[in-house]
């Protein structure tokens, strides 16, 4: 679990996860598009994320595709968030989202 927290403690790596969350199954080229990071840096970050099991890669034809793997995050949730707290947290999160968007 140390690896998961270390991997998440970097904003570039979190933004790569965000990109996969927005669109799962991207190639390295697609992930590099529009980023202010070298291809080499992206490759290094992806390796750390894969090592922490936060992403999984699969070969599809000639392409290597990257997928967000939420299993370790799910396990963290199972460990520290009890069932009865879940609905309260969801409600608080929704309230925060609405207030921050300022559109409600």
**Contacting residues toward another protein, per CB under 8 A:** 24-25, 53, 56, 58, 60-61, 65, 67, 69-71, 74-75, 78, 83
Distance CA 16, CA 31 (A): 7
Give the nearest distance from C-beta 102 to another protein in angstroms.
25
Q: Find the distance separating the first CA and the last CA of the chain, reported in whole Å.
A: 38
Q: 39-51 and 11-22 are packed helices; what angle lies between their axes, rounded to 10 degrees?
A: 80
| Residue placing its CB nearer to another protein in the complex, 18 or 38 | 18
Asked whether the beta carbons of 78 and 70 are under 8 A apart, the reply is no
| Residue placing its CB nearer to another protein in the complex, 27 or 37 | 27
Give the nearest distance from C-beta 22 to another protein in angstroms.
9
| Residue placing its CB nearer to another protein in the complex, 37 or 65 | 65
């Amino acid at each position: 679990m140390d690896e998961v927290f270390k991997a998440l403690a970097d904003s570039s790596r979190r933004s790569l996860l965000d990109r996969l969350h927005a669109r799962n199954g991207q190639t390295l080229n697609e992930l590099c598009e529009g980023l202010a990071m070298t291809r080499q840096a992206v490759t290094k970050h992806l390796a750390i994320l894969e090592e922490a099991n936060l992403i999984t890669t699969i070969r599809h034809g000639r392409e290597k595709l990257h997928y967000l793997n939420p299993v370790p995050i799910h396990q963290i949730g199972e460990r520290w968030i009890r069932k009865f707290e879940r609905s309260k947290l969801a409600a608080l999160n929704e309230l925060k989202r609405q207030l921050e968007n300022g559109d409600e």
